[in-house]
Amino acid sequence: MLISLHVKNMALIREAEVEFGEGLNIMTGETGAGKSIVIGSVNIALGTGNFRDYVPEDADHALVELVFSTKNGAVRRMMEEQDIPFEDGEVIIARRYKAGRSVSKVNGETVPVSFVRELAAELIDIHGQHEHQSLLYEKNHLKILDKFSGEQSEEKLALCREQYHAFRDAKRRLSEADAGEKDRAKELDFLKFELNEIESAALVPGEDEELESEYRRMTNGQKIMEALSETAGLTGAGDCSGAGDEISRAVRAFGAAARYDETLGNLEQTLADIESMMNDFNRELSDYMDDFTFDAQKLKETQERLDLMNRLKAKYGNSIEQILEAGREKEERIGILSNYEEYLADLRKTYEQSKNALWKTADEISAIRKRCAGQLAKEIQEALIDLNFLDVRFEISFDETEEPGENGKDVVCFMISMNPGLPLRPLADVASGGELSRIMLALKAVMADRDEIETLIFDEIDSGISGRTAQKVSEKMAVIAGKHQVLCITHLAQIASMADHHYIIEKKPADSRTVTNIGLLTEEESIEELARILGGAEITPAVRENAREMKELAKKAKKY
C-alpha cells in the first residue's frame, strides 16, 4: 500500500508530506484548493506526468516521493532483476527535477523512467477519466474476463502463446518453402559451389593466427636481424665482445674480494647467477640467429594462404569457426534441397500439427471463458444495480477470429442495456462519462479478490452523480476498501463520510503568496468538513447534526 507522499515545489504546494492509512483515504477541499495537484504529483512520480506542468516559475527544483509497502511477488522479481535493494517490502519511488531535467530513483538507485512505469503498474492503479474510457475498448474486455477466470485459463493461455509462436513459425517456413521451390535447382548448384569452396580450403581452427604470426616474422626478417645483431654486439653473443665479457671480468674481480670477507658471499652468488643467465641468453640468441633463414617461396605460400582465408572470411564469417559453421549449414541445406519433397511433407505435417494443437487449446480457452463469462456478467450486473443502475442488463457477447492468435480465438464485447425495453448494445455505444466511472467501480468491486494491486486511486468518480446514487457509490467504494487501500478525491459528502482517513486540501496565505496544504482531520474535524460540503457558505447546527448522522450511518454501512 501507499505509505506516504512527499511533494516539494509543485504548483501551489511549497512542501507537504502526507501519510496514508489502510482502507478508504478521502481527500476533500474547496474548488481550486489544489486537489488535482495531488493526483498530478502521483502521476509524475510514477512516470506518466510532466514536471513542467506543475513546477512554479520561481522554483529551480522540485521533488515527488512515494513510499510503498508491498507483498507483491512481481514487484520483488522486478527489483531483483535490476539489482535494486528490497528489504521489508519497502519501495521508495522518487523523481527530482532541476534545471529542466528530471531523475528517477527507486530505493536510492537511479533507473530509467520506463522501469518506474513498469513497477508502478504492479503497485498502484489510478482511475481517472482516461482509465474509464479504456472500458470502451473490446481488447480490454478480454483481459478483464481472463483475469476473472484466473488459474482456470492462466496455464492454457501460456500454452496458447507458445503454440501460436510455433504455428506462426511453421506457417512461415512452409510458405517460404513453397515459394522457393522453382528456384531450388539454382540454389542447390550455388550451395554446392560454396560448400566445395569451403571444404577445399581445408581450414583448421587457429591456423590463421599462426600464419599471421609467421607472416609478420618473415616480412620483418631484416628488421629482426638488425635488432638481434645489435643486441649480440652489446651482450657478447657469438664472436662479439660485450656485456657478457664485462660481467665475467666482474665475477673474477669480485671473487678475489670475497675470499677475504665472508659477508660478500651472497653478492658473489648473485653476480655468478647473472653471469650464468647472460651466458644462457647469448647461447640461445646465437642459435636463433644461426637458424634464422628467409625463404621467399614460403613467404609467398603463406601470403596466398592468408589471402584465401580473408576472402572466405569476407564471404562466410569473421573467423575460421564461423566459416566452418557456414559450411555445415550449407551442407544441411543441400540435404534438404536434395530431398525436397520429403522436406515439404515434413513441413506440412508440422504445420498441420501445430495448427491443430493451437485450435484445440483455443477451443479449451473459449470454453473456460464462456463458462466464466456468465458468472462475471451476473456479478457485474448485481454490482451495477447496487450502484443505482436499477433496470440494467449486462451480458458478455462472443465472436471468433478466422485464426487463433496469442490469446486464443475469442473476440469479447461487454453489452449493456440501462433502460427497460432497450436492446443490449456495446458499452462504447451507450455509456456516458459519468456512467463509465460507475461501471468501472462495479468492475473493481467484482474483481477486488482477484486483483493483486494493493492501492487504487479514484479521481472524478463522483462526476455527474448525487443523492442516492452517490450513497451507493460510497458503499461500493467501502467494499473495495475492505480488500485494497483506496485513495479518492471527492466533492460529495456521501463519499467523504465513508472515510477511514479524511484529509483536507486547502489554500492558505504564506509569505505574500498562496500555498496549498494537506492535513489529516480528526473525527470532529471530519464532521465539520462534511458540514461544509453539505451546507456551503452557512453551516447551521442542523447541518452539523446531519453531517454527524451521516458519519455514524457510514460506520454501520462498512463491511470491514
Instruction: Write out pLDDT tens, residues 164-198.
Output: 999 999 999 888 776 566 677 777 788 888 889 88
In tens, the pLDDT along 77-106 reads 999 999 999 888 899 999 999 888 889 999
Which amino acid makes up residue 418? M
Tell me phi and psi for residue 148, to 5 degrees: -65, -35
pLDDT band at 482 (very low <50, low <70, confident <90, very high): confident
Dump pLDDT digits (tens) for 406-415: 999 999 999 9
pLDDT over 80 (residue 375): yes
**pLDDT beyond 90 at 53:** no
> Closest by alpha carbon to 461, among 130, 128, 180?
128
Rounded alpha-carbon distances, angstroms, from residue 278 to 110, 282, 435: 59, 6, 98
* Dmax (CA) of the chain: 129
Q: Are 381 and 394 in contact (CB under 8 A)?
A: yes
Contact status, residue 410 vs residue 428, Cβ threshold 8 Å: no
Q: Which three cell numbers stand for residue 437?
A: 466511472
| Residue type, position 557, single letter | A
> pLDDT by residue (tens digit) across 284-304?
888 877 777 666 787 788 888
Residues in CB range of 412: below 8 A, 6 or more apart: 138, 141, 142, 145, 369, 373, 396, 397, 398
Residue matched to cell numbers 464485447: 413
* Reported pTM: 0.66
pLDDT at 559 over 70: no
Least confident span in 127-141, 357-371, 400-414, 468-482: 127-141
In this prediction, residue 74 carries a pLDDT of 87
Q: Are 351 and 225 in contact (CB under 8 A)?
A: no
Average pLDDT over the chain, rounded to an integer: 86
To the nearest 10 degrees (0 to 180), the angle between helices 340-386 and 138-149 is: 90
Cα(386)–Cα(373) distance, rounded to whole angstroms?
20
The C-alpha cell at 230 is: 645489435
Distance of CA 227 to the CA centre of its chain: 59
**CATH among 3.30.200.20, 3.40.30.10, 3.40.50.300, 3.30.565.10 for 2-128+435-521:** 3.40.50.300
Please report, for the chain, the start and end positions of each structural domain, with discontinuous segments joined by +.
2-128+435-521, 189-337
User: What are φ and ψ of residue 47, in 5° steps?
Assistant: 85, 10
CA–CA gap between residue 305 and residue 211 (Å, rounded) = 8
